[in-house]
Amino acid sequence: MARYVAFLRAINVGGRVVKMDKLRGLFESLGHAGVETFIASGNVVFESRAKAPSLERAIEAALADALGYEVATFIRTDDEVAEIARQQPFRPAPFKTAKAFCVGLLAAPLSRDGEKALMSFKSADDDFRVVGREIYWLCQTGQGVSAFSNAGFEKAAKVRSTFRGMNTMQRLSVRLRESAAGANRPRRSTSGVDLGS
């Protein structure tokens, strides 16, 4: 079986609270094995014989049925997570002093119009790079001040996406690597505590 990470949009934000044990149970009810959660922002590690596109559709349908609202789902393999974590799209490395360095996950690479819509948000404070199905966002002012938002981007580019801090992606990549090596297998999170801590 292949190992995947499901990145879920709008989990535990905007008053929509989902306990991690419930989320694990939903994934297990779909027949997935080795289900783990990584922090409470909607990152689920699991194993399956299915392919990513069918997994995304099945998980989205199950979450909508169980939670009563749409949860956009973006699947990556552990190798793809490792590649995302290795990316250094901004050179030299101004992200060391930036307020936020994030990655946005998409279902498919942006179209030319989609990339144009993304770049319309570029400013002295916000910079972007597109690599495959990922958007790298460097913000000098912090997410609370920036004019860029996921919702605004989705509307402008006519796509769905979800964003994570690069620090989260790097920590998740380390955890996946350790787990694959059989060392320090991650514990299941029952309280939303970051399993990397």
For 76-100, write each residue's pLDDT tens digit: 999 999 999 999 888 766 555 667 8
Task: Report which of 138, 141, 135, 173 is spatially closest to residue 154, judged by C-alpha positions.
Answer: 135
- 76 & 107 share domain: no
Confidence of residue 59 (pLDDT cuts 50, 70, 90): very high
- 76 & 88 share domain: no
- 88 & 47 share domain: no
- 87 & 158 share domain: yes
Residue 75 in domain: yes
- 75 & 145 share domain: no
Residue 71 in domain: yes
The DSSP bridge partners found for residue 8 are: 73
- 154 & 98 share domain: yes
Supply the CATH number for residue 30's domain. 3.30.70.1280
Q: Please state, rounded to an integer, the average pLDDT across all residues of the chain.
A: 87
Residue 196 has pLDDT above 50, yes or no: no
Residue 101 has pLDDT above 60, yes or no: yes
List, in sequence order, the alpha helices (H) in the chain.
20-29, 52-67, 78-86, 112-119, 150-157, 166-180
Q: Domain containing 50: what range? A: 2-80+169-180
- 160 & 89 share domain: yes
Between CA 35 and CA 33 the distance in angstroms is 6
Residue 188 in domain: no
- 96 & 47 share domain: no
Between CA 130 and CA 115 the distance in angstroms is 8
Residue 125 in domain: yes
Q: Is the dihedral of CA 105, 27, 168, 4 positive or negative?
A: negative
- 67 & 103 share domain: no
Task: Please give the average per-residue pLDDT across 63-85, as a whole number.
Answer: 95
- 160 & 175 share domain: no
